[in-house]
Chain A
Amino acid sequence: MSKIGIPRTLAYFLYYPLWKTFLDELGEEVIVSPPTSREILDQGVKDAVNDACIPIKVYHGHAAWLRDKVDFIFSPRLVSVRLFGDFGTETFCPKFLGLPDMVRLTVDKLPPLIDTRVGIKKDPKEIFNIAADIGDVLGKSAADCKKACRKGLEVHKKYQKLLSSGVLPPDAIAQLFPNEPETNNKVRREEHQRQRLVRKPNREEAGLNIAVVGYPYAIYDDYINGGILGLLSKENVQVFTQDMLSDKVLNRQAKHLLKSTFWYFSNRAVYGGLHYMKQKRIDGIIHVTAFACGPDSVVDRLLEIEAHRHSSKPYLSITIDEHTGEAGIRTRVEAFIDMLNYRRDKI
């Protein structure tokens, strides 16, 4: 049995249940890094190239946290997860494409990475081969891998169901894995309590409804975004994110654009934004974006222009960076909420 570390950021928020189940089934021990903290961020800032965006730096920090605690770090190279986009060109941000190499060459003394390439746009069944490749590294038989992968996909489906019923990812993960091993449990419990504050599904109440779109690793990582979801919930706001929408609903938005973006996470954010803009019950849109994020220079302006052209919904763009403090975010979010409330009073 090997210890396998999973950094709690980037693709973690969408794929953890799949990965975790798969590795559990193979009999490995999964260790997740704790939620992002000052130390993790500082370490990442120190290790990563200074021109990188904050999520990538944070990933370096998580990898560094795991290095002396595990035998492998699980860092699959995400290249494509579906056949999509104009000419089927959808992939991931180039930084994802080069992520395992960046981490390996810049963070000292890392254990080996499991950086199997995930490119399944040609054939979704490829996932079983990928599972077998990963199993190969760990010395497992192909048959076992296939079984474990099936199980993983089942749980993944459950996870997606939870998300589309309106549960936020960290919450859904806690529901799926209520008794994680000791190391993860404590943080998980604390996180769970914090998240419960966030989540008060009281659609009947007269609170505001705000769509928060952006990359999962930006909107669900409380530390790097100054706890924006918590702030909203304290203000009695019902939050909607793109991850609560099914692929079918999201992809319907594709036809409204001249050309889709090339990146999976960006497409989701754009479509989510476009969808919510057309929903009557949504009072405003918040886009959380990372400082110096390449794809977001496209995504953000696109959403802004569309919001301005096709709806009268107020649009707020919040940029996060190393120095984002909770205070700064709070001021902006509160001002936005005030403005929305004022608009509603007028109607």
Chain B
Amino acid sequence: MKVSFPHMGYSYLAFKWMVEHTGHECIVPPEPSKRTLDLGVRHSPEFACIPFKMLMGTYLEVAEMGAEMIITSGSNGPCRAGLYWVMHQYLLEELGQPVKIVALEPPLCDMRDFIGKLRLIRKTGGISTKQLIWVLQVTWEKVKAIDEIERHSHEIRPYEIGKGDTTRAFWQALEMIDAANSINEVRLAYREALKVLDAVPQDNSRNPLKVGIIGEIYVVLEPSANHYMQIMLGEMGVQTDRSIYLSGYTKKTTIYDLEGDLYTVAQPYLNEAPIGGHGANSIAETVLYSRHGYDGVVQLAPFSCIPEIVAKSILPTVSRDHDIPVLTLFIDEQTGKAGVQTRLEAFVDLMERRREVKQKQSTIARRLVI
């Protein structure tokens, strides 16, 4: 069968490998473009969130390319994401597209449904259970490696001497992971890939601003949905960190070291969790980034995103209490790259000024002590 899946950041490389090795033909989803968004907007409900529209556009594009099955994830709420696939299926049917959406609901909720759907994928591809398990393991290894490489690229980008070097090295690294065909090969490729990144000429005398990125998973993960914001910031000389990665494994994000339960951190501000999406996380992460000496936080969310609206109304208080500036960017189909860039530049200015003031204060304090 011709199988496709949603495009979410760079993970598509891992899923492409997965589909190909389950005996299916892979229709690789194109990176979401203006056209993807236009298509999605045209055929989605007006107030659907941007991720819904982007995925709708992506599904229509892969349907055009001949996809017969789309594998995606379900969820048990409480936000809309868990109903995406139902609506997408409805809308595709209305448009006369013969695509079937197979949504893997979290296995903890409904094991039978989960296994049934896996079997469907396996049977139609004609592979054994053992093979499927192996494929899933390698895929997981790839997802982890890709996440880790991406994380590292955001770390070194602000130090790069030649603008764009990191991004070039990053793509080279991704290709190395892409070429790997077993767990060991992935691990090996990963080690090599890190070396490629580290070989980017860097100026270590710089002391870049540090910014934490929080918000809704899709717009945080998919660079084309957030106008390549992390790269943009990196090239402005800002180091970025985010807690959301697809593998959820990259625990090396600075703020997660032994922080205990995120929801406990959010509790003084939001006495209920989860509230869907990453609403509660956004609040907790702002607190944590402040504790770890970050210069600021950018909250990224789709326009009309329910949990992030809740978070946004609470964040000013968090920002005040923990003395960390927060920039909220709500993204909709009208958001342009230039607009994002201007707001980011202003935010960077603000953070720089705050840093200077702080440094002055501490030198004065030191002098007083002497």
Which A residues are closer than 8 A to B by beta carbons?
48-49, 51-52, 77, 79, 85-87, 89, 91-95, 97-98, 100-102, 105-106, 115, 117, 257-259, 261-263, 291-298, 300-302, 305
The digit string for B302-341, where 1 denotes a CB below 8 A from any CB of A, is: 0111110111111011000000000000100000000000
Q: What are the residues of chain B within 8 A of A98 when measuring CB–CB?
A: 270, 272, 275, 279, 307, 310-311, 313-314
User: In the complex, A177 Cα to B239 Cα: how many Å?
Assistant: 62
The listed residue (B83, B272, B312, B314) touching A51 by CB distance below 8 A is B312
User: In the complex, A293 Cα to B309 Cα: how many Å?
Assistant: 11
User: In the complex, A296 Cα to B87 Cα: how many Å?
Assistant: 12
Given the known inter-chain contacts A97-B310, A98-B279, A301-B91, please indicate yes or no for A293 contacting B47, CB distance below 8 A. yes
The digit string for B92-115, where 1 denotes a CB below 8 A from any CB of A, is: 001000000000010001100000
Contact, CB under 8 Å: B272 / A97: yes
Contact, CB under 8 Å: B271 / A94: no
B362 at the A interface (CB under 8 A): no
Contact, CB under 8 Å: A259 / B86: yes
Given the known inter-chain contacts A79-B272, A91-B77, please indicate yes or no for A298 contacting B87, CB distance below 8 A. yes
Among B45, B303, B306, which residue has the most Cβ atoms of chain A within 10 A? B306
- The distance from the CB of A232 to the nearest CB of chain B, in whole angstroms, is 25
- The distance from the CB of A53 to the nearest CB of chain B, in whole angstroms, is 8
- The distance from the CB of B25 to the nearest CB of chain A, in whole angstroms, is 26
Q: List 7 A-B contacts (CB under 8 A).
A: A86-B109, A89-B77, A95-B309, A97-B276, A102-B314, A296-B47, A305-B90
B116 at the A interface (CB under 8 A): no
B76 at the A interface (CB under 8 A): yes
Given contacts A95-B309, A97-B310, A295-B306, 9 further A-B contacts (CB under 8 A): A86-B109, A86-B110, A94-B279, A94-B310, A97-B276, A102-B310, A262-B82, A294-B304, A301-B45
- The distance from the CB of A265 to the nearest CB of chain B, in whole angstroms, is 13
B228 at the A interface (CB under 8 A): no
Q: What are the residues of chain A within 8 A of B86 when measuring CB–CB?
A: 257-259, 298
Q: In the complex, which residues 236-295 of chain B have their Cβ closer than 8 Å to any Cβ of chain A?
A: 269-272, 275-277, 279
User: In the complex, A100 Cα to B275 Cα: how many Å?
Assistant: 13
- The distance from the CB of B332 to the nearest CB of chain A, in whole angstroms, is 10
Contact, CB under 8 Å: B80 / A52: no
Contact, CB under 8 Å: B271 / A302: no
Q: Which residue of A lies closest to B302 (CB)?
A: A294
Nearest 7 CB-CB pairs, A to B? A262-B77, A98-B310, A294-B306, A49-B313, A94-B276, A297-B47, A87-B109
User: In the complex, A93 Cα to B277 Cα: how many Å?
Assistant: 12
The listed residue (B47, B87, B276) touching A292 by CB distance below 8 A is B47
Q: What are the residues of chain A within 8 A of B312 when measuring CB–CB?
A: 49, 51
B89 at the A interface (CB under 8 A): yes
Q: What are the residues of chain A within 8 A of B307 when measuring CB–CB?
A: 94, 98
Contact, CB under 8 Å: A51 / B303: yes
User: In the complex, A102 Cα to B315 Cα: how many Å?
Assistant: 10
B217 at the A interface (CB under 8 A): no
User: In the complex, A258 Cα to B79 Cα: how many Å?
Assistant: 17
Q: What are the residues of chain A within 8 A of B80 when measuring CB–CB?
A: 294-295, 297-298
Q: Which residue of B lies closest to A289 (CB)?
A: B47
User: In the complex, A101 Cα to B91 Cα: how many Å?
Assistant: 36
Q: What are the residues of chain A within 8 A of B269 when measuring CB–CB?
A: 101, 105
- The distance from the CB of A44 to the nearest CB of chain B, in whole angstroms, is 12
Q: What are the residues of chain B within 8 A of A87 when measuring CB–CB?
A: 76, 105, 109-110
Q: Which residue of A lies closest to B106 (CB)?
A: A87
The listed residue (A97, A115, A294) touching B47 by CB distance below 8 A is A294
Contact, CB under 8 Å: B87 / A302: yes
User: In the complex, A285 Cα to B303 Cα: how many Å?
Assistant: 29
- The distance from the CB of A110 to the nearest CB of chain B, in whole angstroms, is 13
Q: Which residue of A lies closest to B270 (CB)?
A: A101
User: In the complex, A101 Cα to B46 Cα: how many Å?
Assistant: 28
User: In the complex, A91 Cα to B274 Cα: how many Å?
Assistant: 11
User: In the complex, A262 Cα to B309 Cα: how many Å?
Assistant: 18
- The distance from the CB of B155 to the nearest CB of chain A, in whole angstroms, is 32
B18 at the A interface (CB under 8 A): no
- The distance from the CB of A98 to the nearest CB of chain B, in whole angstroms, is 4
User: In the complex, A238 Cα to B277 Cα: how many Å?
Assistant: 40
B49 at the A interface (CB under 8 A): yes
Q: What are the residues of chain A within 8 A of B314 when measuring CB–CB?
A: 98, 101-102, 105
Given the known inter-chain contacts A98-B279, A102-B310, A262-B79, please indicate yes or no for A301 contacting B90, CB distance below 8 A. yes
User: In the complex, A300 Cα to B272 Cα: how many Å?
Assistant: 28
Q: What are the residues of chain B within 8 A of A52 when measuring CB–CB?
A: 309, 313
Q: Which residue of A lies closest to B90 (CB)?
A: A305
Q: What are the residues of chain A within 8 A of B74 when measuring CB–CB?
A: 259
Contact, CB under 8 Å: B310 / A294: no
Q: Which residue of B lies closest to A119 (CB)?
A: B272
B48 at the A interface (CB under 8 A): yes
- The distance from the CB of B187 to the nearest CB of chain A, in whole angstroms, is 36
Given the known inter-chain contacts A48-B313, A95-B310, please indicate yes or no for A301 contacting B109, CB distance below 8 A. no
User: In the complex, A10 Cα to B279 Cα: how many Å?
Assistant: 21
Q: Which residue of B lies closest to A309 (CB)?
A: B94
Contact, CB under 8 Å: B90 / A262: no
- The distance from the CB of A272 to the nearest CB of chain B, in whole angstroms, is 18
User: In the complex, A115 Cα to B270 Cα: how many Å?
Assistant: 12
- The distance from the CB of B331 to the nearest CB of chain A, in whole angstroms, is 12
Q: What are the residues of chain A within 8 A of B77 when measuring CB–CB?
A: 85, 89, 91, 262-263
Contact, CB under 8 Å: A77 / B272: yes
Q: What are the residues of chain B within 8 A of A117 when measuring CB–CB?
A: 271-272
User: In the complex, A294 Cα to B305 Cα: how many Å?
Assistant: 7
B218 at the A interface (CB under 8 A): no
User: In the complex, A92 Cα to B313 Cα: how many Å?
Assistant: 18
User: In the complex, A296 Cα to B317 Cα: how many Å?
Assistant: 29
User: In the complex, A293 Cα to B47 Cα: how many Å?
Assistant: 7
Contact, CB under 8 Å: B272 / A292: no
B201 at the A interface (CB under 8 A): no
B78 at the A interface (CB under 8 A): yes
Contact, CB under 8 Å: B78 / A91: yes
Q: Which residue of A lies closest to B276 (CB)?
A: A94
- The distance from the CB of B309 to the nearest CB of chain A, in whole angstroms, is 5
Q: What are the residues of chain B within 8 A of A115 when measuring CB–CB?
A: 271
Contact, CB under 8 Å: A95 / B306: yes
Contact, CB under 8 Å: A94 / B79: yes
